[in-house]
Amino acid sequence: MRILVISNLYPPDVIGGYELGCRQVVDALTAMGHDVLVLTSSSTRASAPHSGVRRHLVLKREIYGGPAPTNQAIALRRAEGRVINAHNVAVLVDTLGEFQPDVVYLWNLDGLGAYGIAATIAYVQQPAVWHLMDAGPNEAATLGPGDAGPETPLLRALSRRLRSVYIACSRRVAEEVSGSGFDFRGNLRVLPNWATTPTHEVNRQFFTSGSRKLKIVSAGQLVPHKGVYQIIETAALLSQQGRVDFHIDIFGSGLDDHFASLIALRDVDRLVTLRGYLPQRELVEKYWSCDVFLMPTWSREPFGFAALEAARRGCVPIVSRDCGYAEWFVDGLHCLKVAPTPEHITNLLREILDGQRELEPIARRALGVTQDDFSLACILPEIERAFDDALHLPPRRPGSLHDAHRLAKLADGLLFGHLEGHA
């Protein structure tokens, strides 16, 4: 099968699990004999050319940090990233005409003019599978500020036209998208994320109360909604209670200086260490020597690859009880669920430190279930079935590639003319 994969970023450029998961699936599909071509944005890191990857798209991400941009700059950048980018539509049209895929496999489209990409796929009635590890359709139809919400008429129009099957990594994600007016039209599959197979097994030691310090790890973007504040405040609360029999390593990048200052302000430098970014292959092996993976993230967290990778290596995830990851595992059996507040996390960690919660039984069950049911080898056949289902969806009357490009340029001109006129 000829498969065109579209992703805003592709390794070595990564933000998190979305891009890494995309590469893992691409590698697996290629190994199975599929003809796979990745269309993505130009890399900001030095990387060797790859015959299966075209970095021809332009990425326009939201502006964060630095001098406050003008309202016009915000509006124009958001429109290019979320709504339509005529250049990217032109690249897509050319690629569709040249590669002639059987199916288009959509991943994260944020920053590519996501609505324009999806609308082009819909206009030419190209069979597609959209892998949702966040509320991508909602983002594509959000024209105002991020908290304004998506434009329901745009979502409804797009969902009516798309000839697509959808894979959501959790019901939380699916419900957020459908709750904004997007209609999956009965073509939704809910499939979990997956953990990679360890490069080697480790005869790991499990924590018992009083034996040594509790080794806690967290990994992800260093941004507020990922729970970094809660982790630092938890360390401060435990320290105030006289508990120093633990250490927290935080891996990732983002607002590094901000959180470093907060760690110093809360006087927990000896208890919390920012370790910076570490490539996934090295990071996941670190989990063998850790006892607890802490993920007190916001409720909108779709799933969380990192917690799954930790569980696959016998490191017990402590996760927000209402996040996407929590849907797939049982509290007290495969993970520990908690309200994501410093007080609740502190109480749970104190129970572990005092021996009231044993980690080893949970760790062993989590390791087993992730090995059996949350491997890419287990999930890949379901992804292939989604491709087959997309190919058998009845088409509406398709538009031509030539017209798709022309209409994109027209829409691009009208949109930016409108925005500039109201600046």
Q: Are 127 and 163 in contact (CB under 8 A)?
A: yes
The three-class DSSP label of residue 165 is: strand
Q: Check residue 197 and give its pLDDT.
A: 83
Q: Which residues contact 274 (CB under 8 A, 6 or more apart)?
A: 222, 250, 256, 259, 260, 263
| Model pLDDT for residues 261-294, shown as the tens digit of each residue | 999 999 999 999 999 989 888 999 999 999 999 9
Strand 128-132, strand 35-41: pairing: unpaired
Q: Does domain 214-373 fall into CATH 3.40.50.2300?
A: no
Name the band, by pLDDT with cuts 50, 70 and 90, for residue 412: low
**Token output for 85:** 């980018």
First to last CA, the chain: 47
Name the band, by pLDDT with cuts 50, 70 and 90, for residue 372: confident
Q: Whole-number mean pLDDT of the chain?
A: 87
Is the pLDDT higher at 33 or at 50?
33
pLDDT of 340 higher than 50: yes
Q: Check residue 79 and give its pLDDT.
A: 64
Q: Give the mean model confidence (pLDDT) for residues 137-142.
A: 79
Strand 188-190, strand 2-6: pairing: unpaired
Domain layout of the chain by residue ranges = 2-194+377-421, 214-373
Is the pLDDT higher at 59 or at 401?
59
Q: What is the pTM of this model?
A: 0.87
pLDDT of 422 higher than 50: no
Q: Are 310 and 293 in contact (CB under 8 A)?
A: yes
Tell me which residue has tokens 């030095």.
Answer: 46
Q: Check residue 234 and give its pLDDT.
A: 97
3-state helix/strand/coil string of the chain: CEEEEECCCCCCCCCCHHHHHHHHHHHHHHHCCCEEEEEEECCCCCCCCCCCEEEEECCCCCCCCCCCCCHHHHHHHHHHHHHCCHHHHHHHHHHHHHHCCCEEEECCCCCCCHHHHHHHHHHCCCCEEEEECCCHHHHHCCCCCHHHCCCHHHHHHHHHHCCEEEEECCHHHHHHHHCCCCCCCCCEEECCCCECCCCCCCCCCCCCCCCCCEEEEEECCECHHHCHHHHHHHHHHHHHCCCCCEEEEEECCECHHHHHHHHHHCCCCCCEEEEECCCHHHHHHHHHHCCEEEECCCCCCCCCHHHHHHHCCCCEEEEECCCHHHHHCCECCCEEEECCCHHHHHHHHHHHHCCCCCCHHHHHHHHHHHHHHCEHHHHHHHHHHHHHHHHCCCCCCCCCHHHHHHHHHHHHHHHHHHHHHCC
pLDDT of 388 higher than 50: yes
Name the band, by pLDDT with cuts 50, 70 and 90, for residue 132: very high
Q: Which helix (H) or strand (E) holds 118?
A: helix 114-123
Name the band, by pLDDT with cuts 50, 70 and 90, for residue 75: low
Q: Check residue 153 and give its pLDDT.
A: 79
| Model pLDDT for residues 47-69, shown as the tens digit of each residue | 556 779 999 999 986 544 444 44
Strand order in the sheet with 292-295: 272-276, 246-251, 214-219, 292-295, 316-320, 336-338
- In one-letter notation, the amino acid at residue 137 is P
What crossing angle do the helices spanning 17-31 and 376-391 adopt, rounded to 10°?
80
Superfamily of domain 2-194+377-421: Glycogen Phosphorylase B; (3.40.50.2000)
Name the band, by pLDDT with cuts 50, 70 and 90, for residue 349: very high
Q: Check residue 263 and give its pLDDT.
A: 95
The three-class DSSP label of residue 115 is: helix
Strand order in the sheet with 164-168: 53-57, 35-41, 2-6, 103-106, 128-132, 164-168, 188-190
